[in-house]
């Protein structure tokens, strides 16, 4: 074989090898960077655009798709220590003609983090109301969705600002008062008694702790490579001090049962979605809410844990869309009567 031809194959092989090696190197050496690229690509694919808006000197970061129309805007509030992109798995299955807004909660991702900020549930509700007013989302009542901590905030928001909200979806929300503690809550109380705040199960600092957290939160046992676990930890570690401060605030006496204390003030049509195998927040909370909220539908998902949004995104999207359609059609029928 001619030497020039051999050189050509070597060069061609090297050209192909460069992007492959770059990907492998990113996966092995910089998994956190790869995770950020992954979210960027997914947002782009789904048509979600990132924007910022300011209330005085406070900045909110959010993503959106679509424009306000005759159907209600959907505002989505994420859970503790996550960010707006956690909703992407659900957004994938939502109709493109809906106006969607996913905001980073106070102190999370691109939204301002201030040592002076009130991180209590009431404080977060007030911040989200500022965000709503900045975007004029309440020009017409919107549908509010929240999961876990975000569900806690969403429920209290609907109680405090009833004219802003036309309907509500709470996905395994925090903030309820149970007669008995589950194993997770018992463990938290033991940690509080021993002042071992470094060991909060929802704030991992090693790949092993991350794996344990995923097993706690999810009924589905995801097989996550060690490199991805490391990447997930690397992304979180710079924020863990903030997460500890936030966690201690939302489980304090001031905030712990805010939803429970306000659930009878929720007057809009409400949907409760809960995984039957939730180990973080007991599924019996769904029945508590249903007994206190007049117009309430409950959807319990089999073989599903606390991370409903990640475990059952298609089902979650369908339930929300069907609920919105039923509420919207009922309103239209009332107008015709």
Q: Which residues pair with 54 in a beta bridge?
A: 59
First to last CA, the chain: 87
| Calpha distance 103→101 (Å, rounded) | 6
CB 94 within 8 A of CB 169: no
Q: Which residue out of 63, 81, 148, 255 is catalytically annotated?
A: 148
Q: Which residue out of 85, 164, 278, 282 is catalytically annotated?
A: 278
Q: How many C-beta atoms surround the C-beta of residue 179 within 10 A?
A: 6
CA 151 to chain centre: 9
| Calpha distance 173→282 (Å, rounded) | 10
Helix, strand or coil, per DSSP, at residue 92: coil
Long-range contacts of 50-55, Cβ-Cβ distance < 8 Å, separation of 24 or more: 50/110, 52/110, 53/131, 53/134, 53/135, 54/134, 55/130, 55/131, 55/133, 55/134
278 catalytically annotated = yes
Strands (E), the chain: 49-55, 58-65, 74-77, 100-103, 142-147, 165-171, 270-275, 296-301
306 catalytically annotated = yes
CA separation (Å) from 203 to 84, 93, 248, 293?
18, 29, 12, 33
What residues are annotated to the active site?
148, 278, 306
């Amino acid at each position: 074989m001619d030497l020039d031809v051999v050189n050509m194959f070597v060069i061609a092989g090297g050209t192909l090898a460069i992007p492959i090696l770059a990907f492998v190197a990113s996966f092995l050496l910089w998994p956190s960077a790869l995770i950020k690229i992954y979210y960027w690509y997914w947002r782009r694919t789904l048509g979600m655009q990132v924007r910022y808006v300011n209330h005085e000197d406070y900045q909110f970061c959010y993503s959106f798709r679509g424009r306000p129309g005759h159907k209600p805007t959907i505002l989505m509030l994420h859970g503790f220590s996550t960010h707006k992109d956690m909703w992407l798995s659900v957004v994938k299955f939502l109709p493109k003609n809906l106006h969607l807004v996913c905001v980073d909660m106070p102190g999370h991702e691109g939204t301002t983090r201030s040592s002076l900020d009130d991180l209590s549930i009431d404080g977060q509700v007030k911040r989200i109301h500022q965000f709503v007013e900045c975007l004029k989302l309440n020009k017409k009542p919107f549908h509010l969705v929240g999961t876990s901590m975000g569900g806690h905030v969403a429920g209290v928001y609907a109680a405090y600002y009833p004219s802003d909200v036309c309907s509500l979806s709470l996905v395994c929300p925090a903030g309820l008062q149970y007669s008995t503690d589950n194993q997770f809550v018992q463990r938290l109380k033991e940690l509080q008694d021993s002042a071992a705040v470094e060991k909060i199960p929802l704030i991992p600092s090693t790949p092993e702790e991350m794996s344990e957290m995923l097993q706690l939160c999810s009924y589905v046992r995801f097989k996550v490579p060690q490199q991805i676990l490391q990447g997930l930890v690397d992304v979180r570690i710079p924020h863990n001090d903030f997460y500890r401060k936030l966690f201690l605030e939302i489980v304090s006496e001031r905030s712990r049962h805010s939803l429970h204390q306000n659930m009878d003030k929720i007057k809009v049509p409400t949907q409760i979605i809960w995984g039957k195998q939730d180990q973080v927040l007991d599924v019996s909370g769904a029945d508590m809410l249903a007994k206190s909220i007049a117009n309430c539908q409950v959807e319990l998902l089999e073989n599903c844990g606390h991370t409903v949004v990640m475990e059952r995104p298609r089902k979650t999207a369908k339930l929300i869309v069907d609920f919105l359609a039923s509420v919207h059609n009922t309103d239209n029928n009332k107008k015709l009567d």
